[in-house]
Amino acid sequence: MNSPLRIGIAGLGTVGSGVVKLLAEHGRLLSVRGGRPLKIVAVSARSKKKRDIDLTGMRWEKDPMALATAPDIDVVVELIGGSGGVARRLVQKALASGKHVVTANKALLALHGTELAALAEKKQRSLAFEAAVAGGIPIIKALREGLVGNRVKRLYGILNGTCNYILTTMRETGRDFDVVLAEAQAAGYAEADPTFDVDGIDAAHKLAVLTGAAFGARVDFAGVHVEGIRRVTSMDIEFAQELGYRIKLLGLARETRHGIEQRVHPCMVPLDTPIAHIEGVFNAVVVEGDFVGTTMFQGRGAGQGPTASAVVADLVDVARGRDMPAFVVPAEKLATKKASPMDRHVGAYYMRLMVQDRPGVIAAVSGALAKERISLESMLQRGRSESGEVPVVLTTHETEEAAMRRALARIAKLGAVAEEPCVIRIEAF
């Protein structure tokens, strides 16, 4: 039998523990699939607290950096997290020391992916990160292998299960964001500090990584336009349903004549599209290729089992000696492409206004839109309320984002408008 692939794992949280369990349970099967045994030689974590995993025979390293230079380790699995600090130093040192690296760290890759890919290629080692995007969905492998014969025209997807769970629950229960978020935190579906999830940052990290792999471009997290879901209300979800849409937080990327457009924000998605029906904690990614057409990948985007499954898939590739550039093309050939300004985005819009129920309001709003040559497709207006404020919902034909923003600034200044307008982009798939 071939010599084992010797593994060092840094981080024994949910995912790290899952990797230990998976390798223990499927060790014999993985030896066949990988062509050699996969053996954990050493582990490192912040504390030696008791865990529900068997670490017998594995060396404990108090300092994870020791894994990077240990002579009896072939591949370092980085599951610490964070875009810098010890995680970045560990990956850099491991690659520089001639070790392969498998990581689930989307923040690290979003900010330093191009640099790390170049180092891996210089050292002729693998930098693998299937687990960094969409959990157990093999989307990186699809871009590297199955779709490599295509020019990607566009990709988009639900990249954060927490947000999808919140929006699904809001729609099913009629409850508002703050209430559902609190319930999600109590149930363990959302972090105590949910900022990275609900403000779109987690999805933006993943989108930046996907964009690099899909378009052969240097990873550009700074070029991602990011909005979260805090301002989406149950009223908006109800109106969306009436208009034939569902609201989803999407990450979208495509090449335009202005550069690469990368954006994360709530979207109105037509009910007749498959992605509208991805619910709860599930993720989905759609890739449109010039020869293959539209392909869709869906599954659990997080959790111990799916993410550990993705980590181990990368380990099997390393064991088999399957080595490809991290972002599909060699790092030195990754294109430096400018980010398309969000003001240049062209699309249709949903706008909800809370206005005083009095004559002339709709005419004033229509006038503000007309000054920017924005035409209306539909309008919904509710009856009178005790407060005197009523919701008015407008949808527009396609227009440029810059024009929409100028119109919104005018509308917000109208005396009859009681609060800041809520605007959600409508996507045509």
Show which residues are catalytic: 206
Using DSSP's 3-state secondary structure scheme, residue 42 falls into strand
Tokens of 391: 């919701």
DSSP single-letter state for residue 335: B
Asked whether 135 and 310 are in contact (CB, 8 A), the reply is yes
CA-to-CA separations, 101 to 10, 121, 140, 389, in angstroms, rounded: 11, 12, 15, 58
Write the DSSP string, 153-202.
Answer: EEEEEE--HHHHHHHHHHHHH---HHHHHHHHHHHTSS-SS-HHHHTSHH
What sign for the dihedral angle of Cα 351, 352, 355, 359?
Answer: positive
**What number of other Cβ atoms are within 10 A of residue 185's Cβ?**
15
CA-nearest of 100, 157, 102, 166 to 134 is 157
Number of H helices, E strands in the chain: 14, 17
CA-nearest of 312, 315, 334, 330 to 124 is 330
In one-letter notation, the amino acid at residue 146 is G
